[in-house]
A and B are shown apart, each in its own frame.
Chain A
Amino acid sequence: MLGRAVVAALLGFMTLPSLIVLVASFNPTEIMAFPPSGLSVRWYVNALTYPQFQRAAVNSLLVTAASALLALPLGTAAALALVRGRVRWNALWTAVLLSPLVIPGVAAGLGFLILAASLGVLTSRVVLIVAHVALVLPFVVRSVAVSVANLDVALDRAAASLGASPWRVFRRVTLPLLRPGLFAALLFALIVSVNEFVVSLFISTRVTEILPVAMFTYVVNYTDPTMAAVSVLFIAATFAVVMAADRALNLSRVFQIEEH
């Protein structure tokens, strides 16, 4: 009983900020008060009509879609090569591909900033897309690699022995069997990219900045609850994606939590 209370309290601690944001977003006055004196959607109107948020949302969509679509085939090829092929210095390649996970965001961000400045492309969205591809690649490679490792090579050989060309084997056998891994990889890529902040802060301008960077700038400069409304919209969208993913993928399996 005590154990349950502790777990409930800890889960409450984890959800407390989201609840407070929800309450604050409907607060009618600029200075937040609790309990609120009424309900208002003015901050939602404010959030949806603020030009910088609109521009940043478009940038977010472009950067996230482009980087996910680029990282997925690249990561799949890398995962297939690492698990299946006899690549020389396999361990080294694995370490290099996973390195963005441990390299501090500010170090990577500053590196990209210096590089982009010296190439004179600092004002381009391409810099953001390239950086995001590098940052999501580890997640893509890892989730696809798990699927590849579980794949029976005999199925590929059977198809090949029946006369299928290598491309046909890949299209008709390997790819369909990898589908759960690819789906998980895409989900990871989208979520990591859409939430990426530190590296993007270094390499975006007022014109190219993505939503988290615009939100950061807003929080630093203004204190009104517009940010709470944006947060609620953001949390709602994420929650919907996670719920849908749990239905489609059974997340327990993705995170390797066994059932007994």
Chain B
Amino acid sequence: MAIFAVALGALLQFSVLEFVPGSLRTGGLTLANFRGVLAAHYLRVIAETIVLSALTTVFTLLASYPVAYALARAPSRRLRSLILILTLAPFFTGAIVRTYAWMLVLGHSFIRWPVKLLFEPSGVLIGLVHFSMPTMILILAAAISHVDATYERAAASLGARPARVFLRVTLPLSWPGIASGSLVVFAWTFSAFATPELLGGGRVKMIANVVKDLALDAFNWPGSAAFAAVALVLTFALLGGVSRWLTRTA
């Protein structure tokens, strides 16, 4: 862990060193790297990252809740195992395999999509939602399974229709899971790399892709470090802000 801290320290140190083009050596202290991050096209990347992360969180939540509910309330152990394994398998297959699979699905060779999806923000969004679903399902299912089913039965026996039972009983009681699931998904998506890199095809870029371009293609380590440092600070600020907002509304 000390090494981890030292590595992050080295990152922060490089973010304030001058970039000498064509060389890995660095010059003196400067804030130019951070001014570079504020360039218009980089600010647009940051804004796009925030929008994509927010959309991913919302869609992941909507798509995961029914599956999580089915998992938590599965009538038999076999059905529960089946849903759990289908949920976990993509979780364990790794970013590259899953993203490659989506390249095939979103490309035009298998399914004739009416609109272009691959290398477009919509395609990246689909990939990101798929990527986040297992995590969200597991967190939600744990929360829903802690909601005592007798409350639901009580509400139903008093005449509440299923939709009303869900909206007034199950949903509010599973709020902690919704809050922590959204937080985790938002933070993960915010630093997503493989999905936008491959499904965005260089046309859709998120913060992590710019960090990699600067570091590994342009060899501008100081500039890249400044960008990574900004991402780090933004992640913690957003996590702090969102978690405070969630605990206050809970």
Contact = CB atoms under 8 A, between A and B. Distances in A.
Contact of A238 (B6, B92, B96): B92
A239 interface: yes
Contact of B85 (A24, A110, A242): A242
A111 B100 contact: no
Given A104-B190, A195-B92, A110 B4 contact: no
B96 A197 contact: yes
The list of the 8 closest CB pairs from A to B, nearest first, reads A17-B101, A104-B191, A195-B94, A111-B7, A111-B11, A107-B228, A106-B211, A32-B109
Contact of A110 (B101, B149, B221, B239): B221
Given A191-B92, A259-B77, 16 more contacts: A21-B100, A24-B110, A33-B109, A34-B110, A103-B232, A104-B235, A106-B228, A110-B11, A112-B7, A197-B194, A216-B194, A231-B100, A234-B97, A235-B93, A246-B84, A255-B84
A202 B7 CA distance: 13
Interface of A: 3-4, 6-7, 10-11, 13-18, 20-21, 23-24, 31-34, 96-97, 99-100, 102-108, 110-115, 117-118, 130, 134, 137, 191, 194-195, 197-198, 201-202, 212, 215-216, 219-220, 227-228, 230-231, 234-235, 238-239, 241-243, 246, 251-252, 255-260
A186 B54 CA distance: 33
Interface residues of B, number: 78
30 contacts: A13-B63, A16-B105, A18-B89, A21-B100, A23-B110, A31-B109, A104-B228, A105-B191, A105-B193, A107-B228, A111-B9, A115-B6, A130-B3, A137-B1, A195-B93, A195-B94, A197-B96, A197-B194, A198-B194, A215-B97, A219-B103, A228-B104, A230-B97, A235-B93, A242-B89, A252-B80, A255-B142, A258-B145, A258-B146, A260-B145
Nearest to B146: A258
Interface of B: 1, 3-11, 14, 24, 63-64, 66-67, 69-72, 77, 80-81, 83-90, 92-98, 100-105, 109-111, 130, 133-134, 138, 141-142, 145-146, 149, 187, 190-191, 193-194, 198, 207-208, 211-212, 215-216, 221, 224-225, 228-229, 231-232, 235-236, 239
Nearest to B211: A106
A255 B84 CA distance: 10
B86 A17 contact: no
B20 to A, nearest CB: 15
B7 A255 contact: no
A152 to B, nearest CB: 24
Contacts of A102: 187, 235-236, 239
Contacts of B228: 104, 106-107, 110-111
